[in-house]
Amino acid sequence: MTTEKILVTGATGKIGRELVPRLLAAGVEVKAGTRNPDRGRSLFPSGVEVVELNYNRTETYDAALTWADRVFLMPPPFSPDAHASIVPFLDWAVSTRVRHVVLLTGMAVTDFDELPLRRVERHLEDQDTEHTILRPNLYMQNFHPGFISRQIREDGRIRLPAGQGKVSLVDVRDVAAVASRALTSDDHFGRALTLTGPESLTLEEAAEVVSEAAGRSIPFESVGDEDFRGILSRSGWGPAEIEAILGLFGSIREGGRAAIHPEGEEILERELRNFRSFAREHARSWD
Ligand SMILES: NC(=O)c1ccc[n+]([C@@H]2O[C@H](COP(=O)([O-])OP(=O)(O)OC[C@H]3O[C@@H](n4cnc5c(N)ncnc54)[C@H](OP(=O)(O)O)[C@@H]3O)[C@@H](O)[C@H]2O)c1
């Protein structure tokens, strides 16, 4: 039996960094694609070949793809241009020996057929190549090391336009574990898996969990879109990304991110990580 060869795009990102070691442990050959190979080499063991890959530079495609049987495809974060930047790479991939693409998008993308990530999904669904789509909810890791942790450390509180909407936060380690299973078997061809954590919390409840773990009060304040634009803009986010993040929080406010889905637990055959244990694990990061 030949060893499967898997290209992980976005390898330095939240999911990629968890996924690469899991695939190695599963016994497959892994290439890690990143715009910054030097940084990539510092993150992974020597058994991983790190290649330059930039969706906007077609000259980087061949070195990453000619070798691969399967691809984990990570769109750029919160990008309104996700469709335009990733489709040329996807088309290139399906024209090579790649036989399976695992695409990561997001929960509830099917609510709007013209969302960039939904358009990427539809493009993939139209190809002859086998595919699996992973649609995770908001990551717990936004609380650490992501942008919410910065708010907590700098401002002592959490300010998001989430209202009283509930969200079934998911841990990236569980998303990466499901991605690894999908990439190392043929069992999930043609499936779209919504990946959530095991409970649904308002952001106020999430802030209480963080406060309890940190041993001090870290209050939640629901802010309006205009205030949130200012908060993100002062943190260095660009206007287009800000609008994409506002769309995400609008979906939380309207209840579109509250459901709990069983797929992750079914595939991993274990309970998924909950937010309380995540907060305890990272309690000192909010000091
Ligand atoms: N954050 C969340 O809570 C969440 C939840 C559900 C779904 N998602 C979705 O997940 C996707 C990624 O978000 P994230 O927060 O996980 O981001 P992330 O951790 O920053 O990872 C994004 C990766 O994309 C790569 N990338 C960016 N531009 C690229 C380009 N032009 N060519 C090749 N690679 C490029 C980056 O790799 P290099 O810098 O190494 O090139 C980076 O590793 C987004 O589509 C988002 O909607 C995010």
Q: Is 111 domain-assigned? A: yes
Co-location of 99 and 73 in the same domain: yes
Q: Residue 74 C-alpha to ligand 1 middle, in angstroms? A: 6
| Residue 85, C-beta contacts closer than 8 angstroms, at least 6 positions apart | 55, 56, 75, 76, 79
Which of 89, 111, 136 marks a domain boundary?
Answer: 136
Give the CA-trace dihedral at 111, 246, 16, 49, to 10 degrees: 110
Co-location of 109 and 153 in the same domain: no
Per-residue pLDDT of 210-269, as tens digits, reads: 999 999 999 999 999 999 999 999 989 999 889 989 999 999 999 999 999 999 999 999
Co-location of 275 and 223 in the same domain: yes
Cβ of residue 165 lying under 6 Å from some atom of ligand 1: no
Q: Residue 98 C-alpha to ligand 1 middle, in angstroms? A: 21
Which pLDDT does position 65 carry in this prediction? 94
Co-location of 118 and 148 in the same domain: no
Measuring CA to CA, how many Å separate 266 from each of 74, 194, 198, 234?
23, 12, 12, 41
Co-location of 128 and 232 in the same domain: no
Q: Is 178 domain-assigned? A: no
User: Average pLDDT, stretch 68-74?
Assistant: 97
Residue nearest to atom 44 of ligand 1 (CA): 77
d(CA 60, CA 62): 6
Which of 136, 160, 187 marks a domain boundary?
Answer: 136
36: domain CATH number? 3.40.50.720
DSSP result, 230-254: HHHHHTT--HHHHHHHHHHHHHHHT
Co-location of 158 and 282 in the same domain: yes
Q: Which two tokens stand for residue 78?
A: 């919160």
Q: Is 31 domain-assigned? A: yes
Which pLDDT does position 113 carry in this prediction? 86
pLDDT at 166 over 70: yes
For the chain, what is the domain count?
2
Residue nearest to atom 21 of ligand 1 (CA): 13
Q: Is 174 domain-assigned? A: no
By residue range, what is the domain housing residue 74? 5-136
Test site for ligand 1: of 7, 8, 12, most ligand atoms within 8 A of the Cβ:
12
Test site for ligand 1: of 35, 44, 73, 124, most ligand atoms within 8 A of the Cβ:
35
Co-location of 28 and 165 in the same domain: no
Which pLDDT does position 200 carry in this prediction? 98
Q: Would you say 209 and 276 are in contact if contact means Cβ atoms under 8 Å apart?
A: yes
Co-location of 111 and 47 in the same domain: yes
Q: Is 185 domain-assigned? A: no
- The DSSP bridge partners found for residue 8 are 32, 72
Q: Would you say 228 and 246 are in contact if contact means Cβ atoms under 8 Å apart?
A: yes
- The DSSP bridge partners found for residue 150 are none
DSSP 198: S
34 three-state secondary structure: strand
Co-location of 104 and 165 in the same domain: no
Q: Is 75 domain-assigned? A: yes
pLDDT at 1 over 60: no
Which pLDDT does position 80 carry in this prediction? 81
Which of 117, 136, 155 marks a domain boundary?
Answer: 136
User: Average pLDDT, stretch 135-147?
Assistant: 96
Co-location of 13 and 108 in the same domain: yes
Co-location of 25 and 39 in the same domain: yes
Residue nearest to atom 40 of ligand 1 (CA): 34
d(CA 222, CA 203): 8
Q: Is 175 domain-assigned? A: no
Q: Which two tokens stand for residue 274?
A: 């909950």
d(CA 135, CA 123): 16
User: Average pLDDT, stretch 3-29?
Assistant: 95
Test site for ligand 1: of 14, 19, 50, 111, most ligand atoms within 8 A of the Cβ:
14
Cβ of residue 89 lying under 6 Å from some atom of ligand 1: no
Q: Is 70 domain-assigned? A: yes
Chain position carrying tokens 């750029």: 76
81 confidence band (pLDDT: 50, 70, 90): confident
Which pLDDT does position 79 carry in this prediction? 83
Co-location of 49 and 121 in the same domain: yes
Q: Residue 240 C-alpha to ligand 1 middle, in angstroms? A: 15
Would you mind telling me the total number of residues written for the chain in this entry? 287
Q: Residue 75 C-alpha to ligand 1 middle, in angstroms? A: 6
163: domain CATH number? 3.90.25.10
78 confidence band (pLDDT: 50, 70, 90): confident
